Structure 1
């Protein structure tokens, strides 16, 4: 029995060691090492009002907060992204880890949750303007910029990573372009 327990612990430790180190930011597509970024993990408690986002028996999410914004009436918007882990048993043809590069934006007000179905970045595009108010989009863009500056440990390394990964500020949707232009002058 003790040997089985040790084997299970070794299996869990091995799986943790193989978990994806690189994350892709859902708004810019920037790749970075999650172990260095110090992003806030999304707690299961936060997702409780959002039945479409909670973990299922077959898959567990490892989501991180990339931006947050609050309204005057206590509604909070979150931009999250990360990866999911399939729990055994799963088919060997299906990867155990799946990156969520598109991210998701959702809002919570008390026990009410609204999940915006479009990929996070497209919520900032002009054709979806109106689904989320302009002030909230600007606040999310600003908070996202600060999050990325922290993840890359400063504006200079962030600017260098954006250049290296060919992410051009002028090509970003207006709220993101304004937020990044203000920080990365």
Structure 2
């Protein structure tokens, strides 16, 4: 509700017409702040186009978690409207079934996916449900962990709305944070 609309509401009730302009402005600010906070809470907190990731390497075991607003993957963050948006949803649901469509370790390390999931479970979610963020969790086992020198982030390839990932890495006890963008969609260890 805009402040103009709230002022009009005040003007409609004679008992409020004598309220000082400063008090009316304070009431407007409170009402607007309440509307904004309820809306932000209902849809979750995120920045469109920006996601976060955690990457942990512990010997041959690699765990990755990628948290991205649904809008960055689909181009919209509400249930699909029309056939074109339904096709985008269906293509995304098919891609998310294979975590290598989003992140892939260096081939030389010979890593295999041992577990993968999405929250919410996109395979079971109906597109009519309001989803703010999608978290993809993947666990790899690498036969040659010494050869694990990089990861390719294929999520940028199929999702132009994804502009950057802030990646927090924990590599055998050491921490490092990097920002990855479509121009260079890889993490070098």
What TM-score do you get using the length of structure 1 for normalisation?
Answer: 0.30
Bigger relative contact order (CA 8 A; separation at least 6): 2
What TM-score do you get using the length of structure 2 for normalisation?
Answer: 0.29
The structure with more strand, counted as a fraction of residues? 2
